């Protein structure tokens, strides 16, 4: 030791790992004195690239604090703290070392068939969910789960329970596929409906009736009949109407809207018997509205019945046919020849409370007297309204 200069010994110490360095420092007091404050400062700078503008009185203590940020497994720097063991460990070591391996709540129930009651008795930590920040992950130690199974169920009892759960799961999946195939076959052969075209929306449209029928192991004929009806309704909506079914409360309302706004009809031979019965019931129930629609089509030559004024007449009998003709002409002329804001026009067109006629005349007069509307383009039947 006396032969080796202190500078050389310090340089050798830089090549030692922390465990070996600790062993060397415990040999005698002289070696401790060689590793002075400058040595620990240099070690902080080289290993951790730590620089401080403030004066640090104990660089050895600072190095120990920095060293505590090292992973316990691979001795690499990490900021991840394991709350089970109160140690720093990186993600790769956490996955590779059995002692630190964790499992999520979902995997614990799916792979080990544990219930929520079982998992409530096992310690867990919460961690941020990368897919949904509002629902943090519940993590359990894999070793804790295996110990719980061993202590509560025992090996043989747990094996029987696992086999029972696996059999139940396979029965459910077989039942699911069988029911889906039966439903698909019935729809194709009897009703000429391809379930793949409505598969994305049928569960939402049926308010989860479709998935409940498939997942239920035992079911009766009434269940499948209700699902078939919902499939027929959704298929009709996609084939024959251009409406957003989410905007309506029931299929009857969709069908009534289709009846009252369609200018041409498909032959009833194209429709299913279930749809034909629904149409016949609606025609009897709403014969006054149907009558108003027919009268309107005879009197007014128009390509669409979905104009709000027309719908108010057909549904609520709000106007006369003469008023509707005038309002439609005023509306079109106002839209083409004035600079009224879109939001204002939207409110006038869609709100029944407004006196539409006087409002249209008001905006047309304003535009006319500002010379925005040329004299010669005003229709003869609107001329008297604008000038009077």
| Spatial separation of the C-alpha atoms in residues 298 and 69, rounded to whole Å | 85
Contact 60, 40 (CB under 8 A): yes
Mention every residue, 6+ apart, whose C-beta is less than 8 A from residue 316.
352
pLDDT of residue 237: 93
Both structure tokens of 206:
């049926």
**Cβ count within 10 A of residue 255:** 22
pLDDT of residue 217: 64
Place of tokens 């998992």: 119
Which class for 293: exposed (0-12), middle (13-18), buried (19 or more C-beta within 10 A)? Answer: buried
| Spatial separation of the C-alpha atoms in residues 34 and 25, rounded to whole Å | 10
Q: What is the DSSP string of 206-236?
A: TTTHHHHHHH-SS--HHHHHHHHHHHHHHHH
Cα separation values, 174 from 150, 167, 183, Å: 31, 10, 14
pLDDT of residue 265: 62
At residue 126, φ and ψ (nearest 5 deg) are -105, 140
Contact 72, 87 (CB under 8 A): yes
Nearest in space to 205 (alpha carbons), one of 181, 188, 197: 197
Mention every residue, 6+ apart, whose C-beta is less than 8 A from residue 74.
90, 92, 93
Q: How many helices (H) and strands (E) does the chain have?
A: 22, 5
pTM reported for the whole predicted model? 0.61
pLDDT of residue 129: 86
Both structure tokens of 253:
């309302």
Per-residue pLDDT of the chain (388 residues; tens, 9 = 90+): 556 777 777 777 777 776 677 777 777 777 767 677 777 777 777 766 666 777 777 777 777 677 667 787 776 778 788 888 887 888 888 888 888 999 999 999 888 888 889 999 999 999 888 888 788 889 999 999 989 988 888 877 788 888 888 888 888 888 899 999 999 999 999 999 999 999 999 999 999 999 988 988 666 667 889 999 999 999 999 998 888 999 899 999 999 999 888 877 656 677 888 999 999 999 999 999 989 888 888 888 777 788 888 888 888 888 888 888 888 888 888 888 888 777 677 677 777 666 787 888 788 888 877 777 777 777 777 777 776 5
| Spatial separation of the C-alpha atoms in residues 69 and 80, rounded to whole Å | 8
pLDDT of residue 26: 73
pLDDT of residue 285: 93
| Spatial separation of the C-alpha atoms in residues 344 and 347, rounded to whole Å | 5
Q: Could you state, in order of their start, the residue ranges of all structural domains in the chain?
A: 6-67, 81-154, 155-240, 243-302, 319-388
| Spatial separation of the C-alpha atoms in residues 369 and 371, rounded to whole Å | 5
pLDDT of residue 301: 74
């Amino acid at each position: 030791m006396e032969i080796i200069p202190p500078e050389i010994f310090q340089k050798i110490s830089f090549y030692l790992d922390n465990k070996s360095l600790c062993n060397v420092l415990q040999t005698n007091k002289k070696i401790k004195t060689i590793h002075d404050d400058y040595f620990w400062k240099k070690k902080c700078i080289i290993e951790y690239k730590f620089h401080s503008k403030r004066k640090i009185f104990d660089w050895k203590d600072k190095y120990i604090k920095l060293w505590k940020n090292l992973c316990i497994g691979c001795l690499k720097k990490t900021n991840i703290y394991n709350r089970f063991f109160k140690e720093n460990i990186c993600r790769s070591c956490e996955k590779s070392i059995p002692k630190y391996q964790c499992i999520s709540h979902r995997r614990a129930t799916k792979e080990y068939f544990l219930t929520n009651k079982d998992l409530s008795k096992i310690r867990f930590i919460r961690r941020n969910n990368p897919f949904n920040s509002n629902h943090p992950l519940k993590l359990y130690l894999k070793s804790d789960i295996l110990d719980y199974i061993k202590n509560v169920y025992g090996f043989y009892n747990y094996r029987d329970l696992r086999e029972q759960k696996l059999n139940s799961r396979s029965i459910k999946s077989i039942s699911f596929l069988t029911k889906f195939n039966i439903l698909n076959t019935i729809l194709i052969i009897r009703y000429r409906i391809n379930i793949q075209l409505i598969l994305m929306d049928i569960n939402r449209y049926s308010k989860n009736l479709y998935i409940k029928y498939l997942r239920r192991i035992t079911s009766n004929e009434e269940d499948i009949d209700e699902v078939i009806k919902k499939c027929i309704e959704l298929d009709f909506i996609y084939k024959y109407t251009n409406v957003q079914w989410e905007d309506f409360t029931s299929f009857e309302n969709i069908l009534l809207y289709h009846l009252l706004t369609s200018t041409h009809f498909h032959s009833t031979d194209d429709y299913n018997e279930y749809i034909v019965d629904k149409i016949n019931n609606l025609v009897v129930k709403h014969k006054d509205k149907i009558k108003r629609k027919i009268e309107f089509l005879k009197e007014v030559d128009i390509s669409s019945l979905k104009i709000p004024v027309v719908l108010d007449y057909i549904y609520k009998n709000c106007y006369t046919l003469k008023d509707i003709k005038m309002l439609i002409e005023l509306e079109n002329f106002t839209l083409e020849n004035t600079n009224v804001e879109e939001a204002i026009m939207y409110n006038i067109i869609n709100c029944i409370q407004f006196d539409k006629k006087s409002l249209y005349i008001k905006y047309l007069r304003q535009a006319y007297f500002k010379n925005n509307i040329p004299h010669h383009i005003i229709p003869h039947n609107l001329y008297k309204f604008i000038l009077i």
